[in-house]
């Protein structure tokens, strides 16, 4: 093993998509959010697999991502752009048949003037104050926009990872008030909202993290395994130190493995001295600082040193690592580095 290996189980992504599709019921179409390079896992491979499994609506953050997904998928599936129709994007939107979710009067004007008759959707702000039309603005713009036949009207929940949060009911009520009776397809929920039940499903759901094995989809199948190759093993005597700033000192005779990956690969430096790598099902504590390209691990208790140690795998998922790093699974996934050799498992079941 020369370079760290990131194994991405496309079969597990499809199983997660199908499980979420079953949860959302037959009246609701299940799309797939593949922004940020499919949460770091490779937009082209992931989107193609999902399209083969039956996904027809894909969502990305910006037009450039939409271009990449269109090139991977070819014609057919709809690709929605959350950031809408930005200045300079007109040609890409037209040439690749992308569907911008228009967020403002500026974007509506730009889209209707530059690409009359071209598909679009509308994003509404139901309280998150991030993207989309607010209620009074929508009231004024709707009579202009609706006759042009939007593909979808959507909004986004701010607190769907906390099902009991009153914000969810407030946004649901606001979404109804802004969209009831329009006769346009509606979408409110990402993974968290989908899991809150039928009231949140509407016509289309937009799961992202749940496809990739992260919370709040507790029943998700794990998708990634990240194995870091052991470069060297050394004996360290009591009183000797390991790594930058002498941050770790051996209390007893120790064996330390140096593995190839570091903060340049998305392994947060804050994990130094706190994270655990795994030799199969045996935990091995990270000792000392995390360097740019290297991590040192205490393997004194192992009878045999494996070729690689897992940061992500059956014993430790993205949310476990996120907890130790003080962040969320989303950030662990999207931070996965470019140096990893990505291996895809597909059609194995
Ligand atoms: C990222 C995103 C999603 C997907 O969210 P998950 O929590 O990953 O399921 C859906 N809709 C919008 C607007 C988003 O930005």
pLDDT along the chain (349 residues), means of 10: 90 98 97 98 98 98 98 98 98 98 98 98 98 98 97 98 97 98 98 98 98 97 98 98 98 98 96 97 98 98 98 97 97 95 92
DSSP string, 33-63: E-HHHHHTT-HHHHHHHHHHHT--EEEESSH
Domain locations along the chain: 31-212, 224-345
Is the separation of the CB atoms in 339 and 2 below 8 Å?
no
Residue 12 and residue 222 in contact, taking contact as beta carbons nearer than 8 Å: yes
Picking from 19, 22, 23, 1, the residue whose alpha carbon sits closest to that of residue 11 is: 19
Residue 14 CA to residue 38 CA, distance in Å, equals: 13
214 Cα nearest atom in ligand 1: 8
Task: For residue 229, report the distance from its CA to the centre of ligand 1, in Å.
Answer: 33
Choice from 16, 17, 33, 318 to test ligand 1 binding pocket (greatest atom count within 8 A of CB) = 33
What is the position in ligand 1's atom list of the atom closest to the CA of 33? 4
Rounded Cα gap, residues 62 and 93, in angstroms: 10
Q: Tell me: domain 224-345, CATH 2.40.37.10, correct?
A: yes
Q: What is the DSSP letter of 198?
A: G
pTM reported for the whole predicted model: 0.96
Name the residue with tokens 């009831």. Answer: 180
**Catalytic center residues:** 35, 244
Residue 82 CA: nearest ligand 1 atom is 13
- For residue 206, the CA-to-ligand 1 centroid distance in Å is 6
Site residues for ligand 1, CB cut-off 6 Å: 33, 35, 82, 156, 190-192, 206-210
Ligand 1 centroid–CA 32 distance in Å is: 9
pLDDT for the residue numbered 1 = 59
Q: From 3.40.50.300, 3.20.20.10, 3.40.140.10, 3.40.50.970, which CATH number describes the 31-212 domain?
A: 3.20.20.10
| CA dihedral sign of residues 325, 331, 333, 336 | negative
Residue whose CA is at the smallest distance from ligand 1 atom 13: 156
- Which pLDDT score is estimated for 348? 86
Interval between CA 40 and ligand 1 midpoint (Å) = 14
pLDDT of 181: 97
């Amino acid at each position: 093993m020369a370079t760290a290996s990131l194994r991405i189980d496309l079969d597990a992504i499809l199983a997660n998509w199908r499980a979420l599709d079953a949860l959302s019921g037959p009246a609701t179409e299940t799309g797939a959010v593949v922004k940020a390079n499919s949460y770091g896992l490779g937009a082209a491979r992931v989107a193609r697999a999902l399209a083969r499994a039956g996904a027809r609506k894909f969502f990305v953050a910006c037009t450039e991502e939409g271009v990449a997904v269109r090139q991977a998928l070819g014609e057919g599936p709809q690709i929605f752009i959350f950031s809408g129709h930005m200045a300079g994007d007109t040609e890409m939107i037209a040439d690749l048949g992308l569907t911008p979710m228009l967020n403002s009067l500026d974007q509506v004007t730009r889209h209707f003037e530059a690409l009359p008759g071209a598909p679009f959707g509308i994003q509404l702000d139901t309280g998150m104050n991030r993207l989309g039309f607010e209620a009074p603005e929508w009231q004024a713009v709707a009579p202009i926009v609706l006759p042009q036949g939007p593909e979808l009207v959507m909004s986004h929940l701010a607190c769907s990872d906390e099902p009991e949060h009153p914000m969810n009911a407030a946004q649901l009520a606001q979404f109804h008030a802004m969209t009831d009776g329009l006769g346009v397809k509606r979408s409110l929920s990402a993974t968290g909202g989908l899991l809150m039940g039928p009231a949140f499903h509407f016509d289309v759901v937009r799961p992202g993290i749940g496809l990739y094995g992260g919370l709040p989809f507790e029943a998700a199948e794990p998708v990634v395994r990240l194995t870091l190759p052991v470069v060297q093993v050394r004996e360290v005597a009591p009183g000797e130190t390991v790594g930058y700033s002498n941050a770790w000192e051996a209390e007893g005779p120790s064996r330390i493995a140096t593995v190839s990956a570091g903060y340049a690969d998305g392994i947060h430096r804050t994990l130094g001295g706190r994270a655990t790598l795994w030799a199969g099902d045996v935990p091995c504590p990270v000792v000392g600082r995390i360097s740019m390209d290297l991590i040192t691990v205490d393997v004194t208790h192992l009878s045999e040193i494996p070729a690689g140690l897992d940061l992500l795998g059956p014993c430790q998922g993205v949310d476990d690592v996120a907890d130790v790093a003080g962040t969320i699974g989303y950030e662990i996934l999207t931070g996965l580095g470019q140096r990893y050799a990505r291996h895809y498992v597909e059609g194995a079941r």
